[in-house]
Each structure stands twice: as structure tokens, then as C-alpha cells.
């Protein structure tokens, strides 16, 4: 067990990535036609891609790619390699200077996150912190087992050259001429190689730019053949972080730089963290007192907490199972049955090693689930052996007869249970990958227990039967027995079988209640993520910069602190959350997110957080009407951006925008919805320069020249690099002015008569236009998203909107399509992935039952038990007040195979009794009384195995209630429904 990899969550295949394009100054529609259409055309040639969703905004675009669920994880890397090839081919079709970049949005989540903060006097030396952070990142990335590392909130250092436009014009120079001169003076280029006297010498130019003085000393123009105008004469040079910054990070309200390290999958994350912390401690000892290095997130903390709970649950379940076995079977039988548990766990761990299956929360939960199942076969074998010993058979003969009569029904029962879990183990897509480990460990457990029950338990029975110690009644007894209870039970069975329909009615009561209660179950996708963390997203108007967003965040933090549940918090301003958890995607780049900020809060406890969060969310929204604020807990399962999403596809942006507004009004009216967003709604304020072509012609100035001058003067242009220590810094030139808008409007440019102003060649207009285009599968799209309060379920909103959305769909113009997204789409896709493979395994179950029972009629009878037990699963969810979602569905499917085990054994006992001579109803009653002890014992131990999950697990609570509730009813079905149907078929 110590050698098996351990991690908190299972590994999900890297099915998501984004393609990013930067095209400064281009409008969304121009990006759509010049970049997205040719790029998507090439990407569609990759058959394995399931989704190609693109977003175009001012100056950049993002294309989200998702690989089909049916693509196995082993081929994922091959698909992304093919995607990169198609991007390279498409780059020749794109505008000059546009280079698509593939950014992988998946992989291991953060294992550790550290904060570097300044505790010294004066302003925060962000450049120093950034360089220390980069050194730490590189140090951690070389630790064995590391996968990815990153820094956030670092200074984007640059050498900024702010040129005085008036001085430049007086010299008769343009910005573009300065760019051309400076680009030619960057001498960091190889020259060649010389071979002489058996030696080879590299010839290169010496680095001429290693400090700001050297950059300022670069010659720009020569006057009168001897006067040299240098860059420092017409410009102010400085080495500073980019202003305004692209992103800012805060820890507990202080500006800081964050460093993350993600450990690779398939290793022991606790041991990996120990190695990382040793390195960090050594690194921290070398830092000055003013720089404080602090760990702010540690996945291993939650890993250890969860695994300690799982270990405790396993021990608790073992004690419950053995205790029930002792009470119902006796000390000797309980000892034999209990010995199967550690042997089975050993075989399961050995199987996990062979399969390369790590220990994580789902695979460990599979072992807990199986604790009650894996001794079922052993209990049946023990009880059958004791029965045959009572008949006077010798030990060897009793063992032989037990094996002979039970191996087929036990193998069939094990096969059906295993096959019922196979759709979960073989499930495709992220949902299947997440819970697949649970199904695999369950299958390993029950198959191992079958082997032990048939080959090891008989040996133990023979051995223990020879020990005189167990001849005493107190140690070798048969467990709890009550003659009066048996007589009453016999009377009930006799009354039921006299008219078999009575027994059928008794057996159908609980399933019927379950089916009736199903419509009243609340539906969700995945259960809550039981972690004391919540997230806050803040969105400002589109034209806000990062510094404005930071001010809003700092004010918001004060209000959140009043909730009394905050322990720590860290914010990413100017980007969405990076991969802090396994299902968090979208924060791989900070481009285009200046008006966004997302924070993570560590609360004092999960229970307090769940109680306070809805009130906190409502208060923040009410106090800040000018901001878009989303407060929510972290979810489990595949990533979903908004709980409720709908989209409209069509060709015309104006019509899509109008339809989106109409749909947004419909969705906003739903109860619990506090925020809606239509992608195409709103716009961004821009300055547009309207050229006067006549004046350009009279001044002999081309429009292209003028555009480039305006671009360099306002945004700037990188002309080279300077080596500063071990870091390469960009050299950027731009115009110098405190008022960028005014300086752009009155930009002076060289002319035939000296210089002229930009305002003579056109004028600026302030416009507010749509700044977004969305595309899905090559069609334009408008997506409308809605967010609900944290304590509500999306299914309730979807149910309320169902009728109104049908009316909206019917009124759509021709050529426009309405689609459902969000949690409803993810839920439907996950369920369809399971059902698509369930049909195949259902056929295999039928084949196994027919082969074991040698009768299609009896196989149909057993399958009907699986159907009735589905209603029992719904009843279990109702009793436990659990929601019906993907995990509940997994429980219902697993129950379908589990529930028929007792029915198969009971039916085999009836057939065995009928094989010698035709049985009567009285004989049938005695056969069922004989089977009752092991039926009750197996059901009780199975429920005992689920008890820890019912008490401690939030995530697997729906599964545990579905299966525990079903097991109780399946016992009644096995003891009443099966005998009654057999009596009817044989006309007893």
C-alpha cells in the first residue's frame, strides 16, 4: 500500500485547450473573417475535436477546443499534436504577424501555492519580488515529480523609451524612422564561424545593450556630418514594470507575487509535498527579512484530511461488518467471514498496482462500498456448509456439495454485479473518468471475494471445524435465534404464498413508493465539493483597467470580512482563476480580462461557510449594484461556467443581439436568478480616427504610415531587448504625454514644410460599439447565462423556465437555433455516456443469467428484480433527502447488479430443493426460512459498509443512500417476490 500512488482526485484526461490570437487594433468582425474562419476551417479537419467555440473581442480572440469523450486518454497527446500541426498550416492564411498559440488548459491542479510579500519600508519593489518568484519557480520545477509551475502578479519588466514628439518632429524624424534605426543597432546576432589550424572559433558581435545608459547612448541621427543626436537627447528612459500592469495578485489584501507548483499524477502527493517544503525552507532561509515567503494553499492538507476520514471509515466499516456477522452468524463464522476482508483488500491493492490505479477519493470509496459486498459470497458459503453439516455430511462432503451447488449461482451473481459496474468503469468523458476508479475497485473487490469464498473459505471451514475450541456453543454457535420470531415469520410466509399475489404485493410496496417519489426528487449534476473554500468573481464595465478593478476588489474585501468566516483569501485581478482545482479552467492567460477579478477564500469551516454563503452573496449584490458579483462554493464534477446557459445560433449579429435581450428578460424572471448576461449585449468605448483622404494625398502621406505613427505614439512598439543580469528585457518606444488621448489627436508628423499635426488629416470620434463575436461550430452564437444563489439548484430554475423557453423557441426566425447549455447539457452528456455502454453490458448480464439459470424465463425474473430495485434506489434518495444527479444515477446502476445477488441464491436454493422431488408450498416456506439468515446477514453487512459514507461523505452521500435503500428492499424482493413468481410459474 505504501508503494501505490496517492492523490486527492483522479486524473482527468487533458481534453481542453484554448487557441489564442493577438491582432492589435482589429475589430471583432475583422478578427472573425481574417483569423477565426480560416483557423476553424483547418481545426475542423481534426476529427477527434468535439467542440470549437471561438470568442473575438477588440484586438484578440480565443478559441476553446474540447476533444470528444470517446477518445481514450492514451490518444489525447496525439490529438493535440495534430491540432498544433493544423494551427501551423493555418498560420500562412492569417494576417502578417498573427501567430496562433495553443495553451493547454488542463493537467494536474495546483499542489502548492506560495505568496511573496514585502514587509519592509517604502514602496513594494515589485521587480525584486518578481525575480525572487521566478528563482523560486525554477527551483521548484526541478524537484522530482514536478509537472507545471507558474508565477502570478509578477512585474512585466521593460525598458520604456518615451520620446518627446515635439523634439522628434523638429529633427524631421518620424516614430517609424526611430524604430528602424534602433532595430538595426541591436547587435545581438551571430556572425559566423572560422576554422583555422584545426580549431573552430565562433564569431559574434558583443552585446552592446546591457544597461539603460547604453540604450540612451544609441545614435539616432547625424547633423552637419559631425553632430550626433542620441536617443537620450529626445527621450526619457526608465526601467519599470509595465504600467498599467496586465494582472495583479493579492494575498490577504496585500500586493504580492504568487508562485505555484503542480505535482505530476501517479505519485504519492504527501511525499512530494514533503520534498517541496524542504526546498522551500532552504530557499526561505536565504531571503532577506523584508521578503516574506508564505504557503497559502496546500493540496496535501485536504488530501490527508480526506484520506484520514477514508481510513477511519474503512476501519469503522470493518468493525460494523464483523459485528453484524458475529451477531447473526456466530463467533466462528464471523471470524472466517472477517478474515476475507483483509485478504480481499490485499488482492484489490495488488490489482490496483497491476492496473496502475492510484489511491484517491473515488478508488478508496470503492473499497468502502465493497466492504459490505465482498463478504456476501463468504456468508453464503459458510451458511450452506453449516446447513449440510447439520444434514450429517462429513466435512469434505459438505465442502464439495457446497462448492458444487453454489459456484454457478455465486459466479452468476458476482458477474452481474461486476457487469453492472462496468458501464461506470468504462464510462467515457470526464464524469466517467472521475468515478471510474470507484467502479474498478468494486469490481476487483467482488471478483476477489468470489475467489476467496470458493477456494479459501472452505479450507478455513474444514480447519476450524477440527479445532475443539469452537465446539463450545459460545464460540461455535449459529448466531442470534428466536423460536417465536421464526414461528411468526413462518406464518407470514405461509399466508403470503397461499395466494402468491399477496407476496408480490408485499414486495412491490417499497419500489412503488420509490417510483412515486421520483418526480419530487431534486436534480443536480454533481454533489457539493466538501471543502472550506469559496470563490468570488467581480466584473467591472468593459473599459476598466486592472488598477480600477483592484480598487473595487479592496473595497469588496472589507465587506466580505464582515461575514466572520474568512480565514485567508487570495485574488487574481486581471485574469480568471488558474487551475487551483482539478475542474477549474479558463485562467491560463490574462489577456482581455482587465475588468475581471476572481478571488479564493479559505473559510473557518465548511459547515459555517454553507450557512453564511447565501446571505453573504445577497448582501454583496445588494451593496454593489454597479458591479457584477458572483459568490459561490466550488463544485465537483466536470467544469461548468454558469449553472444555467442557453444559446441562440444564427447568421445576423443584430438579430442575435435582439433575441438575446428577449431571452435574457425571460431568464431573469426565474426565481433565484440574480444575474444574467448576454454575450452580445453592451459594448466598449473606442476612439476611431476618420481619415481625410484628400488632405493625406495633398500631404503625400499614406494612410498606412499614419496608422503606424499613431500606433507607436499611443500603444508603443518593441524595438529590441536589453540583457539585465540573467533576464532579457524588452525595449519599447512610445510617445511621452500625461494625456494620451490629447497627444494622439495633436501628434506631429514630418511634412514637406517641416511638420504637421495629425488633426489636419482627420479627426477622432468617440464610439460605443459591440465588442464581441461568439462562434460555435462555425456559426455565430449569442449565449445567455444566468447565475443563481448558492443555496439553490439549477434544475429548479430549468423546470420553471421550461414552458417559457418552448414558446421562445417556437417564435425564433427561420435559420436560428436554440440550444441548452450549462449544467443541464453537462448532466445529459455524462448520463448518455454511461447509458451508451450500459446496453452492451446489459446484454452480457442476460447471457450470464441465462447460462447460470438455464432458463430465459428465470433470467427474465431476475432482471425484473433489477428494475424494481431502481424504484428502491429512488426511495433511498428520498429517505436520505439526497439529490438525484450523476452520483445518484451511478448508485442506481450499481444497485441494479447488486440487488439480484440474493435473488439468484434464493432461486438456486428453490431449484435445488425441487430437483430431488417436486416441492409444495410448505416445502417452499422451509427453503426460504433456510435462506433468510444469509439474506438478512448480507443485507445488514452491506448497509453496514455504507454507514461511514452516509455519515461522513458529502460527495458520495447520494450513491450510499441509493444503494443502502435498495439493499433493504432487495431482501424483501428476494424472500417474497422470487418465491411467489416461482410458485406461479410451477403452479404450486
pLDDT in tens, 423-449: 888 777 777 788 888 888 888 888 888
| pLDDT value of residue 954 | 80
Q: Which residues pair with 927 in a beta bridge?
A: none
Report the run of H or E that residue 584 belongs to, with start and end: none
- For residues 343 and 471, state if they share a domain: yes
Nearest Cα to Cα of residue 885 among 308, 434, 533 = 434
The set of residues, in sequence order, having a beta carbon less than 8 Å from that of 369 and lying 6+ positions away, is 438, 442, 894, 945, 946, 949, 959, 960, 963
Domain membership of residue 85 as a residue range: 16-103
- Confidence band for 739, pLDDT divided at 50, 70 and 90: low
Q: Is residue 847 part of a domain?
A: yes
> Residue 378 pLDDT > 70, yes or no?
yes
The domain that holds 575 is classified in CATH as 3.30.70.1430
Lowest mean pLDDT among 382-396, 659-673, 835-849, 869-883: 835-849
Highest mean pLDDT among 347-356, 437-446, 612-621, 929-938: 612-621
Q: Which residues pair with 769 in a beta bridge?
A: 684
Q: In terms of pLDDT, which residue wins out, 156 or 287?
A: 287
- For residues 559 and 518, state if they share a domain: no
> Residue 2 pLDDT > 70, yes or no?
no
Mean of per-residue pLDDT scores for the chain: 84
Q: Which of 103, 123, 152 is the last residue of a domain?
A: 103
Q: Is residue 191 part of a domain?
A: no
- Confidence band for 315, pLDDT divided at 50, 70 and 90: confident
Burial label, 918 (beta-carbon count in 10 A; 0-12, 13-18, 19+): exposed
Q: Which three cell numbers stand for residue 209?
A: 545593450
pLDDT in tens, 176-200: 888 888 887 766 666 777 777 777 7
Cα pseudo-dihedral 618, 620, 626, 627, rounded to 10: -100
Report the run of H or E that residue 205 belongs to, with start and end: none
* Cα–Cα distance for residue pair 161/234, rounded to 1 Å: 10
- Confidence band for 469, pLDDT divided at 50, 70 and 90: low
Three-state helix/strand/coil letters over 259-301 = EEEEECCCCCHHHHHHHHHHHHHHHHHCCCCCEEEEEEEEHHH
Q: Which three cell numbers stand for residue 852?
A: 447460470
Q: Is residue 845 part of a domain?
A: yes
pLDDT in tens, 226-260: 788 888 888 888 888 887 788 999 999 999 999 99
* Cα–Cα distance for residue pair 984/923, rounded to 1 Å: 15
> Residue 20 pLDDT > 80, yes or no?
yes
* Cα–Cα distance for residue pair 852/871, rounded to 1 Å: 26
Segment 68-73 mean pLDDT: 87
- For residues 406 and 490, state if they share a domain: yes
- For residues 582 and 535, state if they share a domain: yes
Share of the chain above pLDDT 90, in %: 23
pLDDT in tens, 216-232: 888 888 887 778 888 88
| pLDDT value of residue 987 | 77
Pair 55, 62: CB distance under 8 Å: yes
* Cα–Cα distance for residue pair 154/156, rounded to 1 Å: 6
Q: Which of 594, 611, 634 is the last residue of a domain?
A: 634
- For residues 374 and 502, state if they share a domain: yes
pTM: 0.84
| pLDDT value of residue 753 | 62
Share of the chain above pLDDT 70, in %: 94
Three-state helix/strand/coil letters over 895-954 = HHHHCHHHHHHHHHHHHHHHHHCCCCHHHHHHHHHHHHHHHHHHHHHHHHHHHHHHHHCC
Q: Is residue 627 part of a domain?
A: yes
The domain that holds 352 is classified in CATH as 1.20.1640.10
| pLDDT value of residue 536 | 93
Q: In terms of pLDDT, which residue wins out, 401 or 107?
A: 401
> Residue 699 pLDDT > 60, yes or no?
yes
pLDDT in tens, 817-845: 999 887 777 777 777 777 776 777 778 88
> Residue 476 pLDDT > 60, yes or no?
no
Q: In terms of pLDDT, which residue wins out, 510 or 526?
A: 510
- For residues 474 and 550, state if they share a domain: no
630-653 burial, b if ≥16 CB within 10 A, otherwise e?
Answer: bbbbbbbbbbbebbbbbbbbbeeb
Give the chain's domain count. Answer: 3
As separate numbers, helices (DSSP H) first and strands (DSSP E) second, the chain gives 33, 30
DSSP string across 739-802: -HHHHHHT-EEEETTEEEEGGGGEEEEEEEE---EEEETTEEEEEEEEEE-TTS-HHHHHHHHH
> Residue 537 pLDDT > 90, yes or no?
yes
Nearest Cα to Cα of residue 13 among 81, 84, 108, 86 = 108
* Cα–Cα distance for residue pair 833/428, rounded to 1 Å: 6
* Cα–Cα distance for residue pair 664/676, rounded to 1 Å: 6
- For residues 349 and 417, state if they share a domain: yes
- For residues 502 and 590, state if they share a domain: no
* Cα–Cα distance for residue pair 442/416, rounded to 1 Å: 13
Q: Is residue 729 part of a domain?
A: no
Lowest mean pLDDT among 285-299, 412-426, 480-494, 697-711: 697-711
Report the run of H or E that residue 568 belongs to, with start and end: strand 566-573
* Cα–Cα distance for residue pair 740/759, rounded to 1 Å: 14
| pLDDT value of residue 743 | 57
- For residues 537 and 518, state if they share a domain: no
Cα 687–Cα 691–Cα 697 angle in degrees, nearest 5: 155
- For residues 448 and 357, state if they share a domain: yes
Q: Is residue 28 part of a domain?
A: yes
| pLDDT value of residue 808 | 92
pLDDT in tens, 4-15: 788 877 888 888
Q: Which residue has the cell 474585501?
A: 557
pLDDT in tens, 564-606: 899 999 999 998 888 888 778 777 777 778 889 999 999 988 8
Q: In terms of pLDDT, which residue wins out, 451 or 589?
A: 451
pLDDT in tens, 855-868: 888 888 888 888 88
Q: Which of 103, 128, 160 is the last residue of a domain?
A: 103
Q: In terms of pLDDT, which residue wins out, 815 or 738?
A: 815
> Residue 146 pLDDT > 80, yes or no?
yes
Pair 969, 511: CB distance under 8 Å: yes
Pair 551, 233: CB distance under 8 Å: no
Q: Is residue 433 part of a domain?
A: yes
| pLDDT value of residue 174 | 82
pLDDT in tens, 911-961: 888 877 788 888 888 889 888 887 888 788 878 777 877 887 787 888 888
- Confidence band for 274, pLDDT divided at 50, 70 and 90: very high
- Confidence band for 513, pLDDT divided at 50, 70 and 90: very high
- For residues 854 and 969, state if they share a domain: yes
pLDDT in tens, 761-819: 777 777 766 678 889 988 999 999 999 998 888 888 888 898 999 999 999 999 899 99
- For residues 850 and 954, state if they share a domain: yes
Q: Is residue 204 part of a domain?
A: no
Amino acid at each position: 500500500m505504501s508503494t501505490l500512488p496517492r492523490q486527492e482526485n483522479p486524473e482527468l484526461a487533458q481534453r481542453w485547450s484554448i487557441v489564442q490570437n493577438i491582432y492589435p487594433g482589429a475589430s471583432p468582425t475583422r478578427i472573425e473573417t481574417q483569423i477565426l474562419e480560416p483557423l476553424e476551417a483547418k481545426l475542423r479537419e481534426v476529427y477527434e475535436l468535439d467542440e470549437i467555440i471561438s470568442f473575438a473581442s477588440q484586438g484578440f480572440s480565443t478559441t476553446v477546443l474540447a476533444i470528444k469523450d470517446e477518445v481514450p486518454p492514451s490518444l489525447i497527446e496525439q490529438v493535440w499534436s495534430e491540432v498544433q500541426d493544423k494551427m501551423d498550416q493555418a498560420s500562412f492564411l492569417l494576417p502578417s504577424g498573427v501567430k496562433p498559440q495553443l495553451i493547454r488548459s488542463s493537467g494536474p491542479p495546483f499542489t502548492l501555492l506560495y505568496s511573496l510579500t514585502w514587509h519592509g519600508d517604502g514602496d513594494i519593489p515589485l521587480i525584486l519580488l518578481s525575480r525572487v518568484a521566478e528563482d523560486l519557480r525554477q527551483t521548484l520545477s526541478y524537484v522530482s515529480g514536478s509537472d507545471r509551475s507558474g508565477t502570478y502578479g509578477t512585474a512585466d519588466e521593460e525598458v520604456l523609451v518615451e520620446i518627446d514628439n515635439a523634439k522628434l518632429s523638429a529633427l524631421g524624424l518620424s516614430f517609424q524612422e526611430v524604430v528602424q534605426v534602433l532595430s538595426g543597432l541591436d547587435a545581438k546576432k551571430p556572425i559566423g564561424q572560422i576554422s583555422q589550424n584545426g580549431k573552430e572559433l565562433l564569431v559574434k558581435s558583443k552585446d552592446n545593450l546591457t544597461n539603460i545608459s547604453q540604450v540612451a547612448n544609441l545614435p539616432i541621427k547625424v547633423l552637419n556630418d559631425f553632430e550626433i543626436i542620441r536617443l537620450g537627447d529626445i527621450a526619457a528612459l526608465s526601467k519599470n514594470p509595465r504600467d498599467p500592469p496586465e494582472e495583479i495578485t493579492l494575498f490577504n489584501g496585500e500586493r504580492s507575487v504568487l508562485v505555484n507548483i503542480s505535482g505530476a499524477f501517479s505519485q504519492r502527493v504527501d511525499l512530494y509535498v514533503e520534498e517541496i517544503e524542504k526546498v522551500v525552507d532552504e530557499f526561505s532561509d536565504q531571503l532577506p527579512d523584508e521578503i516574506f515567503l508564505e504557503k497559502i494553499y496546500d493540496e496535501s492538507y485536504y488530501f490527508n484530511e480526506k484520506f484520514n476520514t477514508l481510513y477511519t471509515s474503512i476501519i469503522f466499516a470493518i468493525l460494523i461488518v464483523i459485528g453484524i456477522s458475529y451477531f447473526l452468524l456466530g463467533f466462528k463464522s464471523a471470524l472466517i467471514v472477517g478474515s476475507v476482508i483483509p485478504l480481499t483488500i490485499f488482492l484489490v491493492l495488488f490489482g490496483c498496482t497491476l492496473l496502475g490505479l492510484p489511491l484517491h477519493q473515488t478508488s478508496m470509496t470503492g473499497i468502502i462500498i465493497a466492504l459490505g459486498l465482498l463478504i456476501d459470497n463468504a456468508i453464503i458459503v459458510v451458511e450452506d456448509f453449516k446447513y449440510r453439516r447439520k444434514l450429517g455430511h462429513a466435512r469434505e462432503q459438505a465442502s464439495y456439495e457446497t462448492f458444487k451447488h453454489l459456484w454457478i449461482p455465486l459466479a452468476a451473481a458476482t458477474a452481474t454485479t461486476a457487469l453492472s459496474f462496468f458501464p461506470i468503469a468504462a464510462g467515457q468523458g470526464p464524469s466517467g473518468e472521475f468515478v471510474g476508479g470507484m467502479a474498478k475497485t468494486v469490481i476487483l473487490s467482488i471478483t476477489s471475494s468470489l475467489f476467496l469464498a470458493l477456494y479459501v473459505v472452505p479450507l478455513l471451514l474444514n480447519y476450524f471445524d477440527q479445532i475443539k475450541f469452537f465446539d463450545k456453543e459460545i464460540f461455535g454457535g449459529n448466531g442470534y435465534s428466536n423460536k417465536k420470531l421464526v414461528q411468526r415469520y413462518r406464518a407470514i410466509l405461509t399466508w403470503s404464498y397461499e395466494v402468491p399475489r399477496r407476496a408480490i404485493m408485499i414486495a412491490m410496496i417499497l419500489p412503488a413508493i420509490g417510483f412515486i417519489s421520483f418526480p419530487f426528487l431534486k436534480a443536480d449534476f454533481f454533489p457539493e465539493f466538501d471543502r472550506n473554500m469559496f470563490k468570488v468573481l467581480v466584473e467591472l464595465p468593459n473599459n476598466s483597467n486592472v488598477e480600477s478593478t483592484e480598487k473595487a476588489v479592496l473595497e469588496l474585501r472589507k465587506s466580505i470580512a464582515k461575514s466572520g468566516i474568512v480565514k485567508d483569501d487570495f485574488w487574481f485581478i486581471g485574469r480568471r482563476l488558474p487551475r487551483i482545482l482539478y475542474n477549474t479552467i479558463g485562467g491560463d492567460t490574462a489577456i482581455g480580462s482587465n475588468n475581471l477579478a476572481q478571488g479564493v477564500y479559505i473559510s473557518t469551516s465548511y459547515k459555517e461557510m454553507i450557512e453564511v454563503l447565501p446571505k453573504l452573496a445577497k448582501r454583496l449584490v445588494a451593496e454593489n449594484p454597479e458591479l457584477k458579483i458572483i459568490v459561490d462554493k466550488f463544485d465537483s464534477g466536470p467544469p461548468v461556467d454558469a449553472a444555467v446557459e442557453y444559446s441562440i445560433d444564427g447568421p445576423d449579429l443584430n438579430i442575435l443581439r435582439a433575441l438575446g435581450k428577449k431571452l435574457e428578460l425571460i431568464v431573469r424572471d426565474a426565481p433565484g436568478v440574480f444575474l444574467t448576461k448576454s454575450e452580445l449585449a453592451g459594448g466598449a468605448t473606442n476612439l476611431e480616427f476618420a481619415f481625410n483622404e484628400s488632405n493625406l494625398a495633398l500631404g503625400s502621406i499614406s494612410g498606412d504610415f499614419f496608422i503606424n505613427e499613431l500606433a507607436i505614439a499611443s500603444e508603443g512598439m518593441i524595438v529590441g531587448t536589453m540583457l539585465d543580469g540573467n533576464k532579457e528585457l524588452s525595449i519599447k518606444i512610445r510617445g511621452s504625454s500625461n494625456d494620451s488621448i490629447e497627444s494622439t489627436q495633436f501628434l506631429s508628423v514630418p511634412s514637406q514644410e517641416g511638420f504637421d499635426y495629425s488633426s489636419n488629416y482627420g479627426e477622432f470620434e468617440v464610439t460605443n460599439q459591440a465588442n464581441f463575436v461568439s462562434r460555435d461550430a462555425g456559426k455565430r452564437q449569442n449565449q445567455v447565462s444566468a447565475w443563481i444563489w448558492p443555496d439553490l439548484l439549477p434544475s429548479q430554475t430549468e423546470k420553471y423556465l421550461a414552458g417559457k423557453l418552448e414558446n421562445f423557441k417556437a417564435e425564433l426566425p427561420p435559420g436560428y437555433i436554440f440550444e441548452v447549455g450549462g449544467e443541464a447539457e453537462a448532466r445529459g452528456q455524462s448520463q448518455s455516456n454511461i447509458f451508451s455502454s450500459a446496453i452492451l453490458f446489459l446484454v452480457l448480464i442476460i447471457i450470464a443469467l441465462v447460462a447460470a439459470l438455464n432458463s430465459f424465463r428465470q433470467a427474465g425474473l431476475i432482471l425484473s428484480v433489477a428494475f424494481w430495485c431502481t424504484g428502491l434506489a429512488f426511495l433511498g434518495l428520498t429517505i436520505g433527502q439526497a439529490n438525484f444527479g450523476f452520483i445518484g444515477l451511478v448508485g442506481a446502476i450499481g444497485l441494479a447488479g447488486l440487488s439480484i445477488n440474493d435473488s439468484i441464491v434464493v432461486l438456486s436454493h428453490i431449484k435445488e430443493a425441487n430437483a430431488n422431488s417436486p416441492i409444495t408450498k410448505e416445502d417452499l416456506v422451509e427453503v426460504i426460512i433456510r435462506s433468510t439468515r444469509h439474506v438478512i446477514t448480507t443485507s445488514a453487512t452491506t448497509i453496514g459498509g455504507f454507514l461511514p459514507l452516509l455519515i461522513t461523505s458529502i460527495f458520495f452521500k447520494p450513491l450510499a443512500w441509493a444503494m443502502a435503500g435498495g439493499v433493504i428492499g432487495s431482501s424483501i424482493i428476494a424472500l417474497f417476490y422470487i418465491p411467489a413468481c416461482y410458485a406461479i410459474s410451477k403452479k404450486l
